[in-house]
Structure 1
């Protein structure tokens, strides 16, 4: 089920879902230090975000998430140009960043196997391409994971494990490839420098930019001590026969 903020406000005080949302809301609306993603702040203020909650990351939870994400993508254009879909998972909060990363990619891979729409032929499958984007339900989407395990990377820290999704067309509406959009990106990166205890992640970018590796932006490491050429993308494409078997794929 997807919720609006007004519906979450009616949850019981001791409901973990309300606690997770309020913690998220406090961070995104923080005036000092100012939350770096100014578009997320705008989307929350204008009630263009939608939210879901899951008690675990098991197969049934991922199936529910896949269904809710399809519904969200089908209606997202009516919600506004700053829309995003934020899902909270009630997982143990004492796991390591490495463990959370494994969980994240497991969820993404299972989501892909549940997709009822085949990967568009015109879209690259090469995750090392600066043009690669994750596709679900026929739409390119940008995926972000936040966890309680982050320390200095405060812009990705959350009270519980969460995954946020934005349709790629949101970035087009923001004009990020135009001069006004590039100015906004500069502002965001300046805010990141102030917000985080680590330098800005060097592989942030937009599709087509030389340094862009979108999958690397989904789950950012705590520090920047890495070499992209030595890192294999954990995303695994299902085979063609499995895709042809949609719309009722098994996990």
Structure 2
């Protein structure tokens, strides 16, 4: 339980009277950590030399509202933000700011993880915004875009102890986010934006406060055609400009993606992915993987926990894309474009590389379970699938027992080649830019009521499905998916592996058996790796009781 202390919440001039939690304003017993964090925040922003006089004046004139998040529980934040927006709509509070304090961590996390979490907060709020105009907002790459909630545009600023060089962004022992309505930056007398001279004075004060660290190259002025507001929200602690795409997934872009999919399927001729890539918010599988490998090659794509506890394999987006191309080049020597290849592997990195390798090679993957994991009933199902899809090859685990090869009939057996860092394959025929109606994989039914039946899933189908999942879950590049679901099931494969890869997210994967034998491993992995999305059938929740 978090210790709390009494305060002057009933005093209208006391800072605790301006704490908002949900629909409630004022709190008489704030947690001790919040009191300490606020004290350090106030000490800094009211210092005569503090560079941002917008925030300094707001604090001195008691034009600041506050809220807090304990244990990174964001559940009340959307209601709090709506209350802040309602208050700011009144003349008395129209120039108010909102400071969100996050409970300090025991250890200061890496700066990139701090930035990822900040974006996940904005994404969570956006996904819970019920404003009627949310789908009509401009997209983040538009110079007129600003984060908006409950119909109020506001500039978001991330601050935290991971800032070592930029002192102006380190305002206390824990992470903070400041939300400043656009009205704060407008002259109340003229209704015009604050003058360039005033902004220049802020820059000069910033240079002194940050002890000579120059303004980041991404800082700019709202409305400037070359400026992108999102780049200034959670600045890097170095001086390198942001070169990647905005990690924020706008619901407006998802609606445009859905429209693009509808138009694509209505055409008589297949619409190549590269024709719609700029219009749709969701890339096709290989385009997304190549984009991620190019834009952030060192970002972790997959952490594999074979025992459900410890990481054995960690693959970056650059490594996963290269390994998948190596697998694709190897497969092209064994099969021709359009052939089916059965993936009879245990869930793990090899399964994912084999699936992506099939896509690179233009082959149709058929996800199934490893023969090592099955009983006689499973083996009969596997025989039925192989007889139905007539594959050119079956990919099996290295070192599989001879007795378990019986269900694979006379189909050639292959294994996944190990990853060879830095070795780019030659002769890979298939390149990204595959038509929307090209077949990607066959998803077979369980066969519990009859023979297994294969569902044909195209590149376009997967892309549309991923767009829907991204919208429903708020999945984006800052997300962390934690999963134990079997990769031969559609929920495990599409929902927990392919959709996160398309979003550029991080995946933490453990074998199904690791969860079944000790379900608490699932919750521990979510906690340890800061999982933001996870799930499964209802029985998995029962198993935790």
How far has the Cα of 1:107 moved from its partner? 1.0
* CA 8–103 in structure 1, closer or farther in 2 if over 3 Å, else same: same
2:45 to 28, 49, 52: 28
Residue matched to 1:48: 63
Residue matched to 1:235: 248
Say if 1:114 and 1:250, in contact at 8 Å, map to a contact too: no
Which segment drifts farther, 212-221 or 12-21? Answer: 12-21
Q: For residues 167 and 133 of structure 1, what CA distance do their matches in structure 2 show?
A: 10
Unaligned segments of structure 2, at least 5 residues: 1-8, 18-26, 259-471, 475-545
Say if 1:27 and 1:35, in contact at 8 Å, map to a contact too: yes
Alignment of 1:102-113 (within 5 A): 102-113=116-127
Runs of 4+ displaced beyond 6 Å: 9-14
Residue matched to 2:156: 143
Residue matched to 1:71: 83
* CA 235–41 in structure 1, closer or farther in 2 if over 3 Å, else same: same
Higher relative contact order (CA 8 A, sep 6+): 1
* 1:88 and 2:101 aligned: yes
Alignment of 1:1-251 (within 5 A): 6-8=14-16, 15-31=32-48, 34-57=49-72, 61-76=73-88, 77-80=90-93, 82-92=95-105, 93-120=107-134, 123-125=137-139, 127-159=140-172, 160-173=174-187, 181-197=195-211, 198-226=213-241, 228=242, 230-238=243-251, 239-240=254-255
Q: For residues 223 and 176 of structure 1, what CA distance do their matches in structure 2 show?
A: 35
Q: Deviations over 1:114-149 (max 9, x none)?
A: 001144565311x22221111211121111110111
* CA 75–81 in structure 1, closer or farther in 2 if over 3 Å, else same: closer
Say if 1:63 and 1:114, in contact at 8 Å, map to a contact too: no
Say if 1:193 and 1:200, in contact at 8 Å, map to a contact too: yes
TM-score calculated relative to the size of structure 2? 0.40
Say if 1:36 and 1:192, in contact at 8 Å, map to a contact too: yes
* CA 183–231 in structure 1, closer or farther in 2 if over 3 Å, else same: same
Residue matched to 2:317: none
Q: For residues 8 and 80 of structure 1, what CA distance do their matches in structure 2 show?
A: 16
How far has the Cα of 1:108 moved from its partner? 0.9
* CA 177–231 in structure 1, closer or farther in 2 if over 3 Å, else same: farther
How far has the Cα of 1:48 moved from its partner? 0.7
How far has the Cα of 1:190 moved from its partner? 0.4
Larger radius of gyration: 2
Which segment drifts farther, 82-91 or 3-12? Answer: 3-12
TM-score calculated relative to the size of structure 1? 0.83
* CA 71–80 in structure 1, closer or farther in 2 if over 3 Å, else same: closer
Count of aligned pairs:
233
Say if 1:203 and 1:211, in contact at 8 Å, map to a contact too: no
Q: For residues 18 and 156 of structure 1, what CA distance do their matches in structure 2 show?
A: 19
Q: For residues 168 and 107 of structure 1, what CA distance do their matches in structure 2 show?
A: 19
Residue matched to 2:413: none
Cα root mean square deviation, aligned = 2.7
